[in-house]
Amino acid sequence: MGSVPHAQDAPTVRVFIAGGSYAGLSAAVNLLDLGQGLSPRMFQQPYEHHPDLPRVNWDITIVDERDGFYHLIGSPLALADAEYAKKAWIKFQDLPGLQTPQVKFIQGSVSSVDCEAKRTTTIDNTTKLPTTHEYDYFIAATGLRRVWPVVPQSLTRKQYLLEAEEHIHAVANAQHGVVVVGGGAVGIEMAAELKLVEPNVKVFLIHSREKLLSSENLSDECKDKALELLKESGVEVLLNHRLATTTKAETTDGSSKYELEFTNGHKMAASEVIMAVSKSKSTATYLPSSALDEEGYVKIEKKLLNFYPWHPECEFHLCAGDLTKWSGIKRCGWAMHSGHYAAQNIHKFILQKHVGQEPKFMEFQEVPPMIGLAVGKKAVASGPEGTAAGEDIMQAYFKHDLGFTICWDWMGLAGRKPEEQTA
């Protein structure tokens, strides 16, 4: 094979990424590294490039309904603290690490994918007009659709800040208290962050089962520790309380008030009721039904990360993040990890095609149940190695900003530093 010494002689490869969150952005930044002959930023070992193909020019298109990257795991704090809310959403045009001619963003949604023709259609958010895009590789990374208040429903940063501000004002002025319904991870973190930011507001967490995190395959030690930290943070917890009715009540001073009744007969009042109990739904309606399981998750081949069962076009279609049908609790860490794997495998496919290098693909391993949960000033972490909790766990898993800095740095959204510009 003849060598390809200059970037202008390198092949141009079109990659279409559906989804601009953790999985989609991590795939993009690692592709950029690989195209420059560098080791991908999330890889712990030097990457073996082939001397006959040291460079790849990318033509990457990222489509997302939002106009920016939203730090999803920061939602409990973003909806309690106005200053943090500004930090949690960064418009795509303001991500330094992705400001390159090799990457373009589209604010819109994917309406269909023709796997055989390698063609996808998007609908622009503003014009509502369809546009067709041809690609060489496709990455499905649109994740799951989560309802309010798990995530803001706004699609622009400007509207999101208004949405967050309205919610923050309402809970900060909740003279009858705030009730968070649902003792899963979202409900726990939301109640704890609200109490941390607004210590004078009464915050209740209501859960229908006898233990928190009841839908997760986690140890009782983890669930009990989460309850302990929640109470320690000042949140009042009512277990075995299933909400039956919520009725808007009249007040003499015009304040917001709801009367809540539970199936066990207990009654209480609150100014705001936050529902944190809903099942997230797959966004993969744009993919062929043959690629999905009955719940809409994408069936993947663990050795390649591409669509499964196998057909001739599968190697060109990969899935990363929450959309994948895979073991483990859906977490942003794994989403970034899977996006990085998808980038590597696309590069390995290209090496196989252009220089005949036998690929050693990145392979998913089964993911055991594990979780990191921020509860006020402390955090609890649990996995196969056991459960730990404390302020040191908060620092290790979330730092001071619910993991924003950790994710920002790991994905290198500020761009690679000069000392990192080596293979």
| Confidence class for position 290, pLDDT limits 50, 70, 90 | confident
pLDDT at 107: 98
Compute the average pLDDT of residues 225-250.
97
User: Among 234, 251, 275, where does a domain finish?
Assistant: 275
| Same domain assignment for residues 139 and 178 | no
> Any idea which of 72-76, 114-118, 145-149, 292-296 has the lowest mean pLDDT?
145-149
| Spatial distance between the Cα atoms of 66 and 18, rounded to a whole number of angstroms | 12
| Same domain assignment for residues 263 and 285 | no
Compute the average pLDDT of residues 283-312.
83
Q: Is the model's pLDDT at 311 over the cut of 80?
A: no
Quote the domain boundaries for residue 242: 157-275
Our measurement of the distance from residue 175's CA atom to the centroid of its chain's CA atoms, rounded to an integer in Å, reads: 33
- Total-model pTM: 0.94
Phi first, then psi, for residue 204 (nearest 5°) are: -115, 140
The β-bridge relationship of strands 137-140 and 203-206 is: unpaired
In a domain, 352, yes or no: yes
Q: How far is CA 337 from CA 65, 76, 364, 409, 412, in A?
A: 22, 23, 10, 14, 13
| Spatial distance between the Cα atoms of 406 and 412, rounded to a whole number of angstroms | 10
Q: Is the model's pLDDT at 3 over the cut of 50?
A: no
pLDDT tens-digit readout, 385-420 = 999 999 999 999 999 999 999 999 999 999 876 556
| Same domain assignment for residues 166 and 245 | yes
Sheet holding 272-275, edge to edge: 236-238, 203-206, 178-181, 272-275
| Same domain assignment for residues 57 and 175 | no
Q: Identity (one letter) of the amino acid at 187?
A: G
pLDDT at 278: 74
| Same domain assignment for residues 347 and 223 | no
| Confidence class for position 328, pLDDT limits 50, 70, 90 | confident
pLDDT at 85: 97
Q: 3-state SS of the chain? A: CCCCCCHHHCCEEEEEEECCCHHHHHHHHHHHHHHCCCCCCCCCCCCCCCCCCCCCEEEEEEEECCCEEECHHHHHHHCCCHHHHHHHEEEHHHCHHHCCCCEEEEEEEEEEEECCCCEEEEEECCCCCEEEEECCEEEECCCEECCCCCCCCCCCHHHHHHHHHHHHHHHHCCCCCEEEECCCHHHHHHHHHHHHHCCCCCEEEECCCCCCCCCCCCCHHHHHHHHHHHHHCCCEEECCCCEEEEEECCCCCCCCCEEEEECCCCEEEECEEEECCCCCEECHHHCCHHHECCCCCECECCCCCEECCCCCCHHHEEECHHHECCCCCCCHHHHHHHHHHHHHHHHHHHHHHHHCCCCCCCCCCCCCCCEEEEECCEEEEEECCEEEEEHHHHHHHCCCCCCHHHHHHHHCCCCCCHHHCCC
In a domain, 421, yes or no: no
Supply the mean pLDDT for the chain. Answer: 92
| Same domain assignment for residues 66 and 129 | yes
In a domain, 382, yes or no: no
| Same domain assignment for residues 195 and 241 | yes
Compute the average pLDDT of residues 4-32.
87
Q: Is the model's pLDDT at 382 over the cut of 80?
A: yes
pLDDT at 59: 98
Number of domains in the chain: 2
> Any idea which of 164-173, 264-273, 360-369, 405-414 has the lowest mean pLDDT?
360-369
Report whether 13 contacts 103 (CB < 8 A).
no
| Confidence class for position 133, pLDDT limits 50, 70, 90 | very high
pLDDT at 416: 72
Q: Spell out the long-range contacts of 381-387 with Cβ–Cβ below 8 A and sequence spacing 24 or more.
A: 382/218, 382/219, 382/221, 382/222, 382/225, 386/221, 387/219, 387/221, 387/222, 387/225
Cis peptide before 11 (omega within 30 of 0): no
Nearest to 407 by CA among 420, 392, 419, 397: 397
Percent of the chain topping pLDDT 90: 80
| Same domain assignment for residues 25 and 140 | yes
pLDDT at 417: 63
In a domain, 86, yes or no: no
Compute the average pLDDT of residues 60-87.
96
Most confident of 7-11, 45-49, 50-54: 50-54
CATH number of the domain within which 223 lies:
3.50.50.60
In a domain, 400, yes or no: no
pLDDT at 305: 72
Report whether 379 contacts 372 (CB < 8 A).
yes
Q: CB under 8 Å to 387, separation ≥6 — which residues?
A: 219, 221, 222, 225, 380, 381
Q: Pick the residue with more confidence: 149 or 243?
A: 243
User: Among 229, 255, 275, where does a domain finish?
Assistant: 275
| Same domain assignment for residues 111 and 161 | no
| Confidence class for position 7, pLDDT limits 50, 70, 90 | very low
Q: Pick the residue with more confidence: 329 or 85?
A: 85
| Confidence class for position 310, pLDDT limits 50, 70, 90 | low
| Confidence class for position 1, pLDDT limits 50, 70, 90 | very low
In a domain, 374, yes or no: no
| Same domain assignment for residues 295 and 247 | no
| Same domain assignment for residues 28 and 142 | yes
In a domain, 405, yes or no: no
pLDDT tens-digit readout, 167-218 = 999 999 999 999 999 999 999 999 999 999 999 999 999 999 999 999 999 9
- CB neighbourhood size of 395 (10 A): 12
In a domain, 385, yes or no: no
| Spatial distance between the Cα atoms of 100 and 371, rounded to a whole number of angstroms | 35
Percent of the chain topping pLDDT 70: 95
| Confidence class for position 104, pLDDT limits 50, 70, 90 | very high
Give the residue carrying structure tokens 């409990």. 76
Alpha carbon dihedral 362, 363, 369, 374, in 10-degree steps, equals 10
The end-to-end CA distance of the chain, in Å, is: 22
| Same domain assignment for residues 100 and 61 | yes
User: Among 367, 402, 418, where does a domain finish?
Assistant: 367
